[in-house]
Chains A and B, each alone.
Chain A
Amino acid sequence: MNKSSPGGGPQAALGKLSMAGAVVAVAVGAALVLGLALLLKALGAHPFTLKASTSSSTGGQTVAHLTISAYPDSMAGEHGKSGGAHPDWVSYGPTTNLWVPAHALVKMTIKNYDSATALNSPFFGNVQGTVGGVAYYNGKPLKRINPNDVAHTFTIHMFPTAGQPPLDVSVPLLGVADNAPNAPGSQYPKPTVVTFEFHTGASGRYIWQCFDPCGGTSYYAGFGGPMQNLGYMAGTVTVGGGAVA
């Protein structure tokens, strides 16, 4: 037979459900997804952004000062005294989110409390992008250090947004001796103090990271764990809009 049988097609069910119910379902679903997104955002948030303290030097040039540290664990960095989820991971502190003013001379100090791990690529034993192409290691100016003596590097590279000037700064941190005793009253040995200066241009957003395979030998190429999570060996540098008086 070529005729259709009775019994009703889907038309029989036309408009049986309320549209209001559907709208509510969509709203609830959207709210749940957004809630999850905000939860993940909160879980990944950094404690704070470290702002460079600024002063005007002679000639009206803004000068900014910024001090951070590199630790052999996470007990003093941005994860608090308890060390957070991974107390044994190497970390920078007090935070890995940094802010410096635009069109300024930034005088940066990094105290390194960690011992050395040989670099994967010796190139990052070079000091680059600083004033005079040097950094001062416990006061001693050097253009490069031995790739085997590097504990971490502080390397800013460019953010993929057009219209902001390049900011390429890379400074290797000299490691403390492997068996150095803890300093009196401290949980760490006496640090290597590394100081250097660089100029910022117009405002922009940049990222920085460490290039030393300090993530531990159980991870391939030493780039697992702390190297793969923000807040340990990687973070952001925001170059602020305009000079701060």
Chain B
Amino acid sequence: MPRMTPAGRTVLIWWAITTVLGIALVFNIHRILPGLLPTAASPLAQSQDFTLGLFTVLAVPVAMLVWVTAAYVLITSRTREMPTEDGPPIHGNTLVQSAWLGVSSLLCVGLVVYGLALLPDIYTPRPGNQLVVNVTGQQWQWTFSYPGYGNVTSTSLVLPVGRPVTFRVTSVDVTHSFWIPAMGVKVDANDHEITQAFVRPDLKGNYTVRCAELCGLYHAYMQSPVQVTSAARFVNWVHQQKPATA
């Protein structure tokens, strides 16, 4: 190990300080900006919020390394006039280059492994008795039908709390994207195809379905209400609805 120069020590200290401050900021961001993230109404959304926070915490030391080093140079050696002397002719440093490569590779592999471990949460159903909802996107409205309940159809989505849901999503015209921000669910609605998304809503409340793929004139208005309610109220509601076709 080469001995650390005073400049190096100063940068290291400030890097540590700013990193700690930055991470503290991440932990308190919901106090400074309430409502930054939509209400997490499913375990999936909660896990996404955690991942967002985790990545931000990991990003802080990386960003600070670049910024603190740059700031140190700017503060200590800045000049408006053309420098009269050149800097030292350093062409590289094998140790620094290898260490940088090693650490960034490790971080990268870590992120990939983490992401792979969470893939089943996105692409497979939650265990349990599935409520199947057929979701149809069209320009510019969603319709939801319940094949388990006589195929009743509605323009609002009502779900019983705590029951796993399988959305079978399609479109009758262009590509839309079925997105419930509060539940962290998103999948495209493709013409002449059925795609699937899975979630278990575990918080009663009123949320929104958004179209997340530009689909023409009224894309901005392509949203529908979502209500997560008790199983009894859900059954009550579903029996008041009428089927799509008589």
**Complex interface: chain B residues within 8 A of A128 (CB):** 155
Q: Closest CB of chain B to A143's CB: distance in Å?
A: 8
Q: Closest CB of chain B to A201's CB: distance in Å?
A: 15
> Is B82 part of the binding interface, using a Cβ–Cβ cutoff of 8 Å?
yes
B221 touches A228 (CB 8 A): no
> Is B245 part of the binding interface, using a Cβ–Cβ cutoff of 8 Å?
yes
**Complex interface: chain B residues within 8 A of A207 (CB):** 218, 221
Interface secondary structure of B, over-half rule: loop
Q: A126-B242, A221-B174 are in contact. Are A234 and B218 (CB under 8 A)?
A: yes
B173 touches A158 (CB 8 A): no
Q: State which of B7-15, B31-39, B94-102, B134-142 sits at the interface with chain A.
A: B134-142
A121 touches B225 (CB 8 A): no
**Complex interface: chain B residues within 8 A of A228 (CB):** 216-217
A9, B82: Cα distance in complex, Å: 7
Q: Residue A144 contacts which of B86, B216, B246 (CB distance < 8 angstroms)? A: B246
Instruction: Identify which of residues 209-228 in chain A touch chain B, using a CB-to-CB cut-off of 8 Å.
Output: 209, 211, 213, 220-221, 223, 227-228
> Is A2 part of the binding interface, using a Cβ–Cβ cutoff of 8 Å?
yes
**Complex interface: chain A residues within 8 A of B218 (CB):** 207, 209, 234
B81 touches A9 (CB 8 A): yes
> Is A115 part of the binding interface, using a Cβ–Cβ cutoff of 8 Å?
no
Q: Closest CB of chain A to B245's CB: distance in Å?
A: 5
Q: A160-B223, A207-B218 are in contact. Are A4 and B83 (CB under 8 A)?
A: yes
**Complex interface: chain A residues within 8 A of B217 (CB):** 209, 227-230, 234
Give the interface size class of chain B.
20 to 34
Q: A227-B217, A228-B216 are in contact. Are A2 and B174 (CB under 8 A)?
A: no
A159, B242: Cα distance in complex, Å: 24
Nearest residue, chain B, Cβ from A168: B155
B84 touches A4 (CB 8 A): yes
B136 touches A223 (CB 8 A): no
> Is A157 part of the binding interface, using a Cβ–Cβ cutoff of 8 Å?
yes
B172 touches A11 (CB 8 A): no
**Count of residues in A whose CB is under 8 Å from the partner chain:** 32
Q: A4-B83, A9-B82 are in contact. Are A220 and B173 (CB under 8 A)?
A: yes
Instruction: Identify which of residues 4-57 in chain A touch chain B, using a CB-to-CB cut-off of 8 Å.
Output: 4, 9, 11
Q: A120-B172, A227-B139, A230-B217 are in contact. Are A157 and B84 (CB under 8 A)?
A: no
> Is B143 part of the binding interface, using a Cβ–Cβ cutoff of 8 Å?
yes
Instruction: Identify which of residues 148-182 in chain A touch chain B, using a CB-to-CB cut-off of 8 Å.
Output: 155, 157-160, 166, 168
**Complex interface: chain B residues within 8 A of A227 (CB):** 139, 216-217
B81 touches A121 (CB 8 A): no
> Is B244 part of the binding interface, using a Cβ–Cβ cutoff of 8 Å?
yes
**Complex interface: chain B residues within 8 A of A11 (CB):** 80-81
Interface string of B66-109 (1 = CB under 8 A from A): 00000000000000111111100000000000000000000000
**A–B complex contacts, Cβ < 8 Å, 23 sampled:** A9-B81, A11-B80, A121-B138, A121-B143, A122-B244, A123-B136, A144-B246, A157-B155, A158-B225, A159-B221, A166-B225, A207-B218, A211-B141, A220-B173, A220-B174, A221-B172, A221-B173, A223-B173, A223-B216, A227-B139, A228-B216, A228-B217, A234-B218
**Which residues of B line the A interface, CB within 8 A?**
80-86, 136, 138-141, 143, 153, 155, 172-174, 191, 216-218, 220-221, 223, 225, 242, 244-246
Q: A209-B217, A227-B216 are in contact. List 8 more A-B contacts (CB 8 A).
A: A2-B85, A120-B138, A126-B242, A158-B225, A166-B225, A209-B140, A221-B173, A229-B217
- Give the 10 A-B residue pairs with the shortest CB-CB distance, closest first: A221-B173, A4-B82, A120-B172, A228-B217, A123-B244, A9-B82, A2-B86, A223-B139, A122-B245, A123-B143
